Amino acid sequence: MAEAGNRKAVPGTVGVCFVSLCRIFGIRDAGTRWRGGRGTARANTPVVGAASWGALHRVRPDRAGRLARVRDWEPVTTGHSSALVRRSPDGRSYAKTTPAATSAELRDERERLVWSASVGIGVPRVLDWQERDGRATLVTSALPGTPACGFPRRRADAVARRLVEFLADLHGIPVRECPFDRRLAVTVPLAAANVAAGRVDETDFDAERRGRTAAGVLADLVAGRERAEALEPADLAVCHGDFCLPNVLLDPDTLEVTGVLDVGRLGVADRHQDIALLTRSLAATDLNPAYGPGPAERVARRTGADPWRTGYYRLLDEFF
């Protein structure tokens, strides 16, 4: 699959009623988790800590007239996001603009950036934010460092070890401190909502599912949900949610992780959510030729990953 800002949800017409689809597949919690408006599913339900949630929303980004200049910034054409991304002339800021259909997703990312910074996770700083006529624009600072996908083969194992260390630190943040819920009770209904709205790109499925329909793949997801939910409580952690190589930056000299990008799916989930996408990214030599199956297997061993759950969370990722 594509990486770096990829969202498998694509614009489309609603072919199946969301509630009907949930009934067909027996998906629970659909009524309480569908909260987006304009056909957008959101997952911002606080896990715990109403006080910390209130503090998050009292934070206000800096305003320095950046939005007035964004249209003159240089377009960034790398990545696979549906958002329009621009870089400031000095390279110190980025602006991401989304249409009405996905503005809620950008709002989610802004909220997660503010929270992540408050607990010491290295993320871009929110500089400005605007919603107008259904469109949203988020302006953030640039992060120093080299993307994990940008290192030569001779450093691949060292980079992979650093990523495992970073995940251990991230997953060590107390779950009770995180106000974002990305457990399966949230994400499986979101997956169904994306299928119902025609927002899943079937041409971008992983190789083992290529040629199948989104509804058929959703049936597999639902069939495995009970088993995955039974295993979920023992491994709950604060997860990045899209932990692939292009989304992690490291100091090119020390290999210390300087920060992470694309945190729109950050939240409490089974830690296998991150392990699944990291090992898939490492193994994808067409996208990241410096790595390969060897580093991916070593990461799986170091993290004590459950192969079945690794596969299940890759399946879940097909819908986002």
pLDDT tens readout for residues 203-245: 999 999 999 999 999 999 999 999 999 999 999 999 999 999 9
Whole-angstrom distance, CA of residue 264 vs CA of residue 180: 10
Instruction: Indicate the range of 75-89, 97-111, 231-245, 285-299 predicted with least confidence.
Output: 75-89
Q: What radius of gyration do the chain's Cα atoms show?
A: 19
Q: Look at residues 200, 294, 256, 232 and name the one whose alpha carbon lies nearest to residue 11.
A: 200
Assign residue 146 a region (left: φ > 0; alpha: ψ between -120 and 50; beta: otherwise): beta
Is 8 a residue whose pLDDT tops 60? Answer: no
For 94-119, what is the mean pLDDT? Answer: 94
pLDDT computed for residue 31 by the predictor: 39
All structural domains of the chain: 18-41+145-317 (3.90.1200.10), 50-141 (3.30.200.20)
For 82-98, what is the mean pLDDT? Answer: 92
Q: Which structure tokens are listed for 295? A: 């580093």
pLDDT computed for residue 80 by the predictor: 59
For 273-282, what is the mean pLDDT? Answer: 99
> How far is CA 83 from each of CA 94, 255, 261, rounded to the nearest angstrom?
12, 30, 14
Q: In which band, very low, low, confident or very high, does the pLDDT at 2 lie, cut at 50, 70 and 90?
A: low
Q: In which band, very low, low, confident or very high, does the pLDDT at 122 lie, cut at 50, 70 and 90?
A: very high
For 141-151, what is the mean pLDDT? Answer: 97
Active site residues: 242
**Torsions phi, psi for 114 (to 5 deg):** -65, -45
**Torsions phi, psi for 200 (to 5 deg):** -100, 125
Instruction: Indicate the range of 44-48, 186-190, 219-223, 280-284 predicted with least confidence.
Output: 44-48
Beta bridge partners of 98: 136
Instruction: List the Cα angle 212/216/217 in 5-degree steps.
Output: 80
Whole-angstrom distance, CA of residue 112 vs CA of residue 166: 18
Is 48 a residue whose pLDDT tops 50? Answer: no
Q: List strand residue ranges (DSSP E) for the chain, in order.
A: 74-75, 84-87, 93-98, 126-132, 135-141, 146-147, 236-239, 248-250, 257-260, 267-270
> How far is CA 287 from each of CA 139, 156, 253, rounded to the nearest angstrom?
28, 14, 23
Whole-angstrom distance, CA of residue 131 vs CA of residue 176: 30
